Chains A and B, each alone.
Chain A
């Protein structure tokens, strides 16, 4: 009798403890979405957990999956590399904000060409992906690279085979600089590629470009660096040839007009500025404006705030680009205005 009583007491206490912890403090934040920012998010999360004990459970299932999950309210936040349009956000009662940035970098595998040496401009680059320029010693490429010994070899174009935010940023750039690309192929997370082979994920494209001689592809900056790939110098809107560097990505973001972008819908490709890298993009977080679980939403906001404030160095170590401070300020202001729980705003106005 006594044993059963003790057991019951214990079970009751345990149940109480569980209830208590759920109502008092959230110990886990759930998120799902884009794969591109995953390394940065997980590094922030691990540091944040050491500091506060709050765990982030982020599933890198892809931007599309992240959007579906947040729409179904199975997670506290979703993440997407491509921003949703304001209309789309309103339809689901969502809000979005940029969390971290990165650049998309063209990479080549041509014998004798070193990283950063090959120069391309937008129209030439688009023609290669249209399948109109098919050889490395094409006059258009040679003209941009006087004196460079370019081989008389067929170009193998490599693109993503899966739908991805990287492709969304990349085709946004091609659509801006080439009317032909805009009308024939277009701008989306997956497109009908005129030529080339498809690799799955950044890793897939990186390994295809590494394997196939005389190939060209595009990957996130971090992948180009970590795989020691031969990246290309691109001509930007101001007419300067720029190298893909953290500094040049930030230059592109600094010139963007975030204030007048409804729902932070801002595409950072082909931005003006002497140093701006032309294929830059931000990764976005999606959250509900009316939080069904205010404690969890608040915990998520606390994590984002902490990451904005303390995560810059960690992001840069992983070759990501942190958001500029003025953008962060704008984002946090939007939190206090838009995200509400049962008892009003979840984030204090400053």
Chain B
């Protein structure tokens, strides 16, 4: 019984609070450390890329970005072909993937019968889980011949005399090239964009939607005036996630882009992307300048990704600034 006064002397809740304070500090420290670790890794990557790329950057300067030469024999390197290929394939991918993903997400959350939702959602998640090399092999062995035999000849015939499209849809119909790479990328990023969009659409409060319907709004009006404004951060985030993946995708692109250091306006011509060039040439790159030029390409990709993410931030900031006006 003598224990009771002792306990009362050092009240339990004080002890608890002390332990709690320590736990809090510890937890704060650990989470903070984890966050700093991410920053440290990013900065570390940037610094090591910069150090590796330094010889090439010193030799070629800004001309590295604008030169379309890539010649291991004369050690003359430029990033333009790879940058062009990276941006064009990603652009094609986004042009196709964004509307399709939007459609899928909308259908699953708003329009689909209840029994169909789960199968479609599962299918999307399965698509996201397929390794990129499988897409590459499928692209090379199944998709490229299909493009070469049916799609490309038809497109070439159809658009031959159309002014602008005619010069874009040009090149040898061999099924391997920038266009096919863009299509494969589209298929690869659709599950990512769709999954994010679906999840954000699902959190729109039912009350908001039902109120709009009650006011006589059509489904499209609800989507445009209620769902999209409510979820725009998530939607933009999903698109950026897809774009980030498209820019950096390596294996699938390497299989179907044709790996040729040439820039052609025609989308059927073979081209090259930054990631594909790195995957192809890094193992056998001997000589300091060659390796350095490849690392410089990696640095360029890093910067492009950074710019894309910053633009997304800016876009979101402008969107939220317009709110309430």
Contacts and interface: CB of A to CB of B under 8 A. Distances in A.
Interface stretch (A62-70, A136-144, A229-237): A62-70
A237 B285 CA distance: 32
Contacts of A191: 71-73
Given A62-B284, A162-B283, A163-B284, A212 B148 contact: yes
A111 interface: no
A59 B192 CA distance: 36
A130 interface: no
Nearest to A163: B284
B281 A211 contact: no
Interface stretch (B29-37, B171-179, B222-230, B315-323): B171-179
Nearest to A164: B284
A196 B280 contact: no
B72 to A, nearest CB: 4
B283 A61 contact: yes
A281 to B, nearest CB: 15
A212 B174 contact: yes
Given A162-B280, A211-B140, A212-B174, A192 B72 contact: yes
A292 interface: no
Interface in B275-295: 276, 279-281, 283-286
Contacts of B286: 64, 67-68, 163, 189
B176 A212 contact: yes
A86 to B, nearest CB: 17
A197 B270 contact: yes
Among B72, B261, B276, residue most surrounded by chain A Cβ atoms (within 10 Å): B72
A67 B291 CA distance: 14
Nearest to A207: B140
Contacts of A64: 283-286
Q: Is the interface of B mostly helix, strand, loop or mixed?
A: loop
Interface string B225-263: 000000000000000000000000000001100111100
Contacts of B172: 154, 156
A186 B75 CA distance: 12
Interface in A158-184: 161-164
Contact of B73 (A67, A186, A198, A215): A186
Contacts, number: 94
A54 interface: no
A62 B145 CA distance: 30
A285 to B, nearest CB: 17
B74 interface: yes
Contacts of B280: 161-162, 198, 200
B305 interface: no
A200 B254 contact: yes
Interface in B121-144: 140-141, 144
Given A64-B284, A64-B286, A211-B144, A192 B176 contact: no
Interface in B45-86: 69-74
A218 B58 CA distance: 37
Contacts of B144: 211
B47 to A, nearest CB: 22
A189 B140 CA distance: 25
A120 B261 CA distance: 27
A116 interface: no
Nearest to A155: B172
A190 interface: yes
Contacts of A188: 72-73
Contacts of B177: 197
Contacts of A223: none
Contact of B174 (A62, A162, A187, A197): A197
Nearest to A168: B284
Contact of B285 (A61, A163, A208, A211): A163
A185 interface: yes
Contact of B72 (A154, A189, A196, A215): A189
A196 B260 contact: yes
Given A192-B261, A196-B260, A63 B284 contact: yes
A67 B144 CA distance: 36
Interface string A45-63: 0000000000000000111
A212 B141 CA distance: 11
Among B70, B140, B281, B284, residue most surrounded by chain A Cβ atoms (within 10 Å): B284
A193 interface: yes
B86 to A, nearest CB: 16
Interface in A58-110: 61-65, 67-68
B285 A198 contact: no
Contacts of B255: 200
B72 A62 contact: no
A67 B176 CA distance: 33
Given A64-B283, A189-B286, A190-B281, A161 B259 contact: yes
A212 B270 CA distance: 13
B188 to A, nearest CB: 19
Contacts of B71: 191-192
Given A197-B270, A199-B259, A211-B145, A62 B283 contact: yes
Contacts of A68: 286
11 contacts: A68-B286, A161-B259, A161-B281, A162-B283, A190-B284, A192-B261, A193-B260, A207-B141, A211-B148, A212-B148, A215-B174
Per CB-CB distance, the 6 closest pairs between chain A and chain B, nearest first, are A163-B284, A198-B259, A161-B259, A186-B73, A192-B71, A197-B258
Given A163-B283, A188-B72, A190-B285, 7 more contacts: A61-B283, A62-B284, A63-B284, A65-B284, A67-B286, A191-B72, A197-B270
